[in-house]
A and B are shown apart, each in its own frame.
Chain A
Amino acid sequence: MTARTKAGADGGTPTGAGADGGTRTKARADGGTRTEAVPALDTDALIDDPDIRIIVCCGSGGVGKTTTAAALGVRAAERGRKVVVLTIDPARRLAQSMGIDSLDNVPRRVKGIEGEGAGELHAMMLDMKRTFDEIVEAHADAERARAILENPFYQSLSAGFAGTQEYMAMEKLGQLRAREEWDLIVVDTPPSRSALDFLDAPKRLGSFLDGRFIKLLMAPAKMGGRAGMKFLNVGMSMMTGTLGKLLGGQFLRDVQTFVAAMDTMFGGFRTRADATYKLLQAPGTAFLVVATPERDALREAAYFVERLAAEDMPLAGLVLNRVHGSEAARLSAEQALAAAESLGAENLENDGIVDQAAGKAGLREPADSPAAGHAPAPSEAEADRRPVTTEELTAGLLRLHAERMQMVAREQDTRDSFTALHPEVPVTAVAALPGDVHDLSGLRAVGDRLATGSAPAGAV
């Protein structure tokens, strides 16, 4: 990582090729040429804007939400803001290097924020169960709180109900915002399969807590007196009877105790969820949709962009993460492969060695096969350890380049289909770093790319 961070514009940086201002010219496979303008996402303008108080990083699973949130936090702090980053399930090494791996559910100051006029970075890792417990403790008297916390039903709900994490992230955001201690809050979102879960889950939990059946369980007596409730009454006794038989009486009693104990809190949940929802719609909030240049991730991103618009939530733009480019883009995949072939033929003439043993893989170095116990051991693993000839080496470089160019082309195609759907969405591209991002210098490298990546990516 360290070696790469200052390397700025080399190999993997999408700006390396075709950096020709705001437009991009792409030679199509069919020979035609297309020029289009994608608006640039200026992340520095965003994090420098004192009116922006909340940045939410959304996206489908594994695309780089946590990395983007942390990188923006570091960059904003080093540019002078007082920032708090709320991370959710960060990679262990990243959490350790930021000093937030202890789970106490409060922000910690991150050491190592540097530069003239630097502000402060605070960060925390969300503890979902603890956040839930804190709400209970804050909104119920001691005795009632204890009854709830000890209830087995509550324990199972707080530990794993689908949507609890999204809901608790919103709660925590509301709490952080209310403290008025930071001028920028960067929020990561839970690792769900769909970015939409972030918007949908709290509502689902809310409507569930509001559900008719819960009310029935809670206050059968109250309901029974009213006219027209006869059906419910019958339903209720049949219900408790059936469920009782099905689940055992104790289970149902636990549920009823839990629901009764939570009764007073339901209103509070709903009110706060509504308030946080409004906060997300406010002009001081900006959403960043993170995606990798893959079909599924970009399709999710497109859904999410549409949902944000429908919910009146302010979208700042798309962060296209882990993008590949090439500084040698003028050499096409086909040319590179043809050149590699001709070297292979030459090699064969020279000393009779062919490197096709690894099949599609092309030049696999026989002397140092992978297979540390896991790969099916290739048969050529025991081959000789003779030095690599320049022809072999060059052919290897060319094949590698061909692979890279094919990837660049595939990524460009998926990007194009997103752009065709949403040409209005500003985009910034972040190059794929060769290693994981797990320390401040890695986050700075991502931050640099976030800031400069609005130039068009390594087009063919």
Chain B
Amino acid sequence: MSRFQVVSGKGGTGKTTVAAALALALATEGRRTLIVEVEGRQGIAQLFGADSLPYEERRIAVAPGGGEVYALAIDAELALLDYLQMFYKLGGAGRALKKLGAIDFATTIAPGVRDVLLTGKACEAVRRKDRQNRFVYDYVIMDAPPTGRITRFLNVNDEVAGLARIGPIHNQAQAVMRVLKSPETAVHLVTLLEEMPVQETADGIAELRAAELPVGRVIVNMVRPQLLDGDALRTASGGRRKEIAKTLTRAGVTGSAALVRPLVEQAAEHAQRVALEREQRTVLAGLGLPGYELPLLGEGVDRAGLDELAAALREQGAGQGESGRGAGS
């Protein structure tokens, strides 16, 4: 399994939730994972019920079996100051630049610079080693920008390497690109079984492939249980209504005659939804990618819910087999 797991998907499909669940799932058996947030929203902290994350790697959860989940919210401005400091030992001058609005300028209007910093920081965490020459994190999981921007976001290093033809940013951009295009990275797309997100997923995969970025899995989120299918329903609507009414009465339901129609209609809607979902599954199957499926949690996602989703990911094979830290070169 790739050590750098990038989680994208249409807005609101559950990128942040899935990234967090994946970080938990991969942190089994004493492993250590880092979840990286790049959109400056503190979604991860909220999800784990922690205080806002500073620009600093912090442990936010312990997984079953002693694994640890760390989190980092990357702030583009601070990352830029970091870089300036690293390359130029700017010190107080950095603050002066900030005052002038230069930092603001570099991190906002030049989207390239901003994204290079964000991806650069994440890749640095992926490659970081300790004194024993072991990777500090077994896996780094990124709660990434949405499908519409992901290819550009990851590929911006190419773009910037072209724009800034010399200098440390150029070199940095190329180094990051090497990690992102290698099998060390996998870009996953989260989707729902609905037309728009599925369409966006298909488009996104085509874009990622065209840019030679490694596509990982399609993660179908918020899957609802299937209680009754079309076959059963056709039987129901075909003349069994009287029997259903009788059966309802026998089961202790009063006034059952009036309930049959609405109950059967609800079931018809359900069947229609199941049929639509099946269509979307067919489209997804046509993409020829492996997938994970996560259930819809009726009560919303709290910490216990995250554990449930992490367990579901593990059941489907996430984090099984080879480990990262020792295995890397």
- A residues near B, CB below 8 A? 4, 10-12, 16, 60-62, 91-93, 152-153, 156-157, 160-162, 191-193, 204, 208, 211-214, 216, 232, 235, 238-239, 242-243, 245-248, 250-251, 254-255, 295, 326-328, 330-331, 335-336, 338-340, 342-343, 346, 358, 360-365, 367-368, 370, 372-376, 387-388, 390-394, 396-401, 403-404, 406-407, 410, 434-436, 438
Given contacts A245-B167, A248-B167, A364-B226, contact A372 B266 (CB under 8 A): no
Contact A246 B273 (CB under 8 A): no
B60-68, B125-133, B257-265, B321-329: which lies at the interface: B257-265
Q: Once bound together, how far apart are the Cα atoms of A214 and B101, in whole Å?
A: 9
B24-32, B51-59, B134-142, B247-255: which lies at the interface: B247-255
Q: A376-B316, A399-B228, A406-B298 are in contact. List 11 more A-B contacts (CB 8 A).
A: A161-B109, A213-B100, A242-B97, A247-B113, A247-B164, A327-B261, A365-B232, A374-B285, A394-B244, A434-B272, A436-B194
Which one, B12, B163, B226, B268, contacts A370 given CB within 8 A? Answer: B226
Contact A160 B149 (CB under 8 A): yes
- B residues near A, CB below 8 A? 10-12, 41, 84, 87-88, 90, 93, 96-97, 100-102, 104-106, 108-113, 149, 152, 159, 163-170, 194-196, 199, 218, 220, 223, 225-232, 235-236, 240, 243-244, 247-248, 250-253, 255, 259, 261-270, 272-274, 276-278, 281-282, 284-285, 291, 293, 298-300, 315-316
Contact A232 B109 (CB under 8 A): no
Given contacts A160-B152, A328-B262, contact A370 B247 (CB under 8 A): no
Q: Once bound together, how far apart are the Cα atoms of A336 and B254, in whole Å?
A: 11
Binding site of B, secondary structure by majority: helix, strand, loop or mixed? helix
Q: Once bound together, how far apart are the Cα atoms of A358 and B227, in whole Å?
A: 9
Interfacial chain B residues near A397, Cβ < 8 Å: 228, 236, 244, 263-264, 266-267
Which one, A60, A212, A436, contacts B12 given CB within 8 A? Answer: A60
* Distance from B94 Cβ to chain A, minimum over Cβ atoms (Å): 10
Contact A191 B11 (CB under 8 A): yes
Q: Once bound together, how far apart are the Cα atoms of A119 and B326, in whole Å?
A: 70
Given contacts A11-B266, A160-B149, contact A342 B251 (CB under 8 A): yes
Some 9 contacts from A to B, beta carbons below 8 A apart, are: A16-B262, A214-B105, A250-B163, A327-B265, A364-B226, A365-B232, A388-B232, A394-B244, A400-B227
Number of A-B contacts (CB under 8 A): 241
Given contacts A248-B166, A365-B228, A372-B285, contact A156 B112 (CB under 8 A): yes
Contact A372 B298 (CB under 8 A): no
Among the interface residues B109, B110, B230, B248, which one has the most CB atoms of the partner chain A within 10 A?
Answer: B109
Which one, B11, B100, B267, B273, contacts A216 given CB within 8 A? Answer: B100
Interfacial chain B residues near A338, Cβ < 8 Å: 252
Closest B residue to A400 by CB, please name it: B227
Interfacial chain A residues near B163, Cβ < 8 Å: 152, 247-248, 250-251, 254
Contact A375 B227 (CB under 8 A): no
Interfacial chain A residues near B223, Cβ < 8 Å: 375
Contact B97 A239 (CB under 8 A): yes
**Top 10 A-B residue pairs of the complex, sorted by shortest distance between their CB atoms:** A373-B285, A327-B262, A361-B225, A339-B251, A61-B11, A213-B101, A248-B164, A372-B281, A328-B262, A247-B164
Q: Once bound together, how far apart are the Cα atoms of A52 and B87, in whole Å?
A: 58
Contact A211 B252 (CB under 8 A): no
Closest A residue to B288 by CB, please name it: A373
* Distance from B79 Cβ to chain A, minimum over Cβ atoms (Å): 13
Contact B267 A400 (CB under 8 A): yes
Contact B300 A295 (CB under 8 A): yes
Which one, B12, B225, B266, B273, contacts A364 given CB within 8 A? Answer: B225
Contact B263 A372 (CB under 8 A): no
Interfacial chain B residues near A361, Cβ < 8 Å: 225-227
Q: Once bound together, how far apart are the Cα atoms of A400 and B224, in whole Å?
A: 12
Interfacial chain A residues near B230, Cβ < 8 Å: 368
* Distance from A448 Cβ to chain B, minimum over Cβ atoms (Å): 17
* Distance from A257 Cβ to chain B, minimum over Cβ atoms (Å): 13
Q: Once bound together, how far apart are the Cα atoms of A60 and B12, in whole Å?
A: 9
Q: Once bound together, how far apart are the Cα atoms of A410 and B274, in whole Å?
A: 22
* Distance from B286 Cβ to chain A, minimum over Cβ atoms (Å): 9
Interfacial chain A residues near B164, Cβ < 8 Å: 246-248, 250-251
Contact B165 A248 (CB under 8 A): yes
Q: Once bound together, how far apart are the Cα atoms of A216 and B96, in whole Å?
A: 14
Q: Once bound together, how far apart are the Cα atoms of A41 and B231, in whole Å?
A: 41
Q: Once bound together, how far apart are the Cα atoms of A362 and B225, in whole Å?
A: 8
Interfacial chain B residues near A328, Cβ < 8 Å: 259, 262-263, 266
Closest B residue to A193 by CB, please name it: B11
Contact A393 B232 (CB under 8 A): yes
Among the interface residues A10, A238, A358, A365, which one has the most CB atoms of the partner chain B within 10 A?
Answer: A365
Contact A391 B247 (CB under 8 A): yes
Q: Once bound together, how far apart are the Cα atoms of A343 and B113, in whole Å?
A: 64
Contact B109 A390 (CB under 8 A): no
Contact B232 A396 (CB under 8 A): yes
Interfacial chain B residues near A251, Cβ < 8 Å: 163-164
Q: Once bound together, how far apart are the Cα atoms of A387 and B163, in whole Å?
A: 67
Interfacial chain A residues near B262, Cβ < 8 Å: 10-11, 16, 326-328
Contact A376 B167 (CB under 8 A): no
Interfacial chain B residues near A342, Cβ < 8 Å: 251-252
Given contacts A10-B265, A326-B266, A403-B227, contact A331 B235 (CB under 8 A): no
Interfacial chain A residues near B88, Cβ < 8 Å: 242, 245
* Distance from B253 Cβ to chain A, minimum over Cβ atoms (Å): 5
Interfacial chain B residues near A336, Cβ < 8 Å: 253
* Distance from A394 Cβ to chain B, minimum over Cβ atoms (Å): 4
Closest B residue to A238 by CB, please name it: B93
* Distance from B10 Cβ to chain A, minimum over Cβ atoms (Å): 7
Interfacial chain B residues near A214, Cβ < 8 Å: 101, 105
* Distance from B171 Cβ to chain A, minimum over Cβ atoms (Å): 11
Contact A390 B220 (CB under 8 A): no
